[in-house]
């Protein structure tokens, strides 16, 4: 982790309620995957090219429903008002100021309409995607999609790695199983089957299928990305069924502690997709050189989650902006050192495994 992000993390830990810190920082079971997401980047090295760069590099990337100023987006993370009173509004404004995409969590403590409005108070063209968990009640899912559309979201990111909730032992130990008074998952308010004026629980269901996903796609004109893909065959199926993008992710190590690091899964999924749709990666990105490595292994862009929360907790909107500016500067520096002029110059031949015997 870069010193700037480490400082924000340490400041956030000082300021946060320890129970809430553990919620944001923790992972599933023994937290093997949580740690491995970061360690995976250390298993590879970049092999630079020389005498082929340019003084000014183009970092922009085209994504479904968005053009981002850099290949770093803000991944969906829940409950930002636990980190800072301005919560998701501050995150949205900072992300828009950075010219990149916010993936607004379905478990946001601010409703998606207000999140989009906050982003567009900074940049009228700001792109906000909506993260969606398919709900067992199809009418609830339809209402959530309509809300995202009415809010002006430019894509849906359907998270599919949660047929059941992950076992997060820090939360169990702390007895953290509900939000404090005055906080709620605001996107779940006033939905069918819920109490008038109140919120429904976000439900997980192992009975959901590709057919349920097809129903969502049939009822929206928004691009739909699939988040939580680790098996290349699922990536092939997603492309065949018309999905608009893949997010390689293990839920930040918060769901299943027996899966690979996201970066280790990336190359096989990129090969399976073969350039037909964008492939994003989230999990473990802590430096701009991590971004460069992910792109060289086949990602179109990466998502960052916990670093954004640490920035928010440490210094609100300014802290989030610090995180995004730091990653942009570090990535541009890494691209220059690789001899790159733009993102297309980060290719698989630049990646080697560490250790002289491996290449």
Give catalytic residue positions. 251
How many degrees, rounded to 5, is the angle at CA 152 between CA 67 and CA 249?
A: 60
Distance, CA of 31 to CA of 37 (rounded, Å): 10
- Residue 81: CB atoms within 10 A of its CB come to 21
Residues 6+ apart with CB under 8 A from 239: 246, 272, 273, 276, 277
Residue 199 burial (C-beta neighbours within 10 Å; 0-12, 13-18, 19+): middle
List all residues 6 or more positions away from 194 whose beta carbon is below 8 Å from its beta carbon.
188, 200
Cα dist. 292→40, 288, 334 in Å? Answer: 14, 7, 7
d(CA 235, CA 246): 7
User: Using the 8-state DSSP alphabet, how is residue 200 labeled?
Assistant: P
């Amino acid at each position: 982790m870069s010193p700037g992000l480490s400082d924000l993390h340490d400041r956030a830990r000082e300021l946060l309620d320890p129970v809430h810190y553990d919620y944001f920082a923790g992972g599933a079971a023994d937290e093997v995957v949580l740690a491995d997401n970061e360690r995976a980047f250390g298993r590879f090295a970049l092999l630079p090219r020389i005498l082929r760069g340019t003084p000014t590099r183009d970092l922009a990337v085209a994504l479904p429903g968005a053009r981002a100023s850099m290949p770093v987006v803000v991944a969906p993370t829940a409950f930002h008002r636990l980190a800072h009173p301005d919560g998701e509004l501050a995150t949205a404004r900072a992300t828009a100021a950075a010219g990149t995409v916010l993936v607004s969590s379905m478990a946001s403590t601010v409703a998606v309409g207000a999140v989009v409005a906050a982003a567009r108070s900074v940049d009228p063209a700001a792109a906000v995607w909506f993260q969606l968990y398919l709900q067992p009640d199809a009418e609830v899912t339809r209402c959530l999609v309509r809300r995202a559309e009415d809010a002006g979201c430019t894509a849906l990111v359907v998270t599919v790695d949660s047929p059941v909730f992950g076992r997060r032992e820090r939360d169990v130990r702390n007895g953290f199983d509900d939000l404090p008074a005055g906080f709620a998952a605001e996107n779940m308010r006033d939905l069918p089957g819920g109490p008038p004026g109140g919120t429904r629980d976000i439900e997980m269901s192992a009975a959901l299928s590709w057919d349920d996903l097809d129903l969502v796609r049939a009822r929206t004109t928004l691009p739909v990305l699939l988040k939580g893909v680790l098996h290349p065959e699922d990536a092939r199926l997603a492309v065949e069924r018309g999905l608009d993008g893949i997010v390689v992710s293990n839920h930040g190590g918060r769901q299943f502690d027996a899966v690979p690091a996201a970066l280790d899964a990336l190359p096989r999924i990129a090969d399976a997709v073969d350039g037909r749709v964008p492939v994003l990666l989230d999990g473990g990105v802590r430096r701009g050189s991590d971004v460069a490595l992910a792109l060289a292994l086949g990602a179109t862009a990466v998502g960052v989650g916990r670093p954004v929360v640490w920035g928010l907790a440490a210094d609100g909107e300014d802290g989030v902006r610090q995180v995004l500016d730091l990653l942009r500067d570090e990535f541009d520096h890494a691209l220059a050192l690789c001899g790159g002029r733009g993102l297309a110059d980060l290719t698989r031949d630049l990646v080697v495994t560490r250790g002289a015997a491996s290449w």
